[in-house]
Every structure is written in structure tokens, then in C-alpha cells.
Amino acid sequence: MPITSSKELKEQIAALEARKVIQQEALKEAFGERLESLKPVNLVKTAFMNLSTSSELKDGIIDHTLGLAAGLLSKKILVGSSNNPFKRMLGSAAQLGVAKYVSEHSEPIKNAAISIFNKILNKKEKKKPVKDYR
């Protein structure tokens, strides 16, 4: 609809200015939300929330952590506190090999650990004396 009078022009300008104010406020609010989401604390929270929802990623992290721990343990057992460079190199190779093997075949290892843990818990529960309240 074409503007034909100065009154219509002023009304149209006022409507556009009001729309501009509303859009500026929305933009400021969106910018504030984005700025808040980029704070380090919120980035870490978001990462952990995503991690907790992604079971595949969580399993991968657990598998690799288990592999690294097994590798470090095997190196410590083989090398100990030796300063022999050949023995230390052999220990590093064993560490890498064990870490890779354990991270790739972690499911049976986790199942065995859970079964051992459950057996230990069951033994402790059986040893608890039952009180007789007669």
C-alpha cells in the first residue's frame, strides 16, 4: 500500500523504528546467550553432557584408558627401576603392544573384572553377621 500523506509516512516510520528496537533487543539477547555458551565452564559442561549421551564415545574412552593403564603396568613390571637402555626400550615396546591389545580386546577384560568384583562383593556380604533380635 503506497504512502500518500505525511501522516502515513510518520506512522510507517514509527512502526519501522519500533520493529528496529524489537529486533535489536532480540539480537542482544541472542548474542548474550551465545557469549554465555562460550564461557569455558559452559563449554566443559556441554562436552560432558555430550559425552554422557554418547555411549559409543564413552566406551572408546574407557577402552583406551584401560589399554593405557595395562601398558603402563606391563612396562613397570618389565623395566622396574632399571637404567639399562635396552631393557627400557623393550619395556616401551611392550607397553605399546599391551596397550593396543587391551584397548582392542577390552570387552572380555571388562567382563572378567566385573565378575571378580562381584565375587569379592558377594563374599563380603556373606561374611556379614546376621543379628538375632529375639
In tens, the pLDDT along 58-114 reads 677 778 888 888 888 888 888 888 888 888 888 889 889 988 888 888 888 878 878
pLDDT at position 15 over 90? yes
Residues in the chain, how many? Answer: 134
Helix (H, G, I), strand (E, B) or coil at 56: helix
- Break the chain into its structural domains and give their ranges: 7-53, 55-126
Cell 565375587 sits on residue: 119
| CA proximity to 86, closest of 78, 98, 96 | 78
- Say what the pTM is: 0.46
Measured torsion, CA atoms of residues 67, 69, 72, 78, in degrees rounded to the nearest 10: -80
Return the C-alpha cell found at 106: 577390552
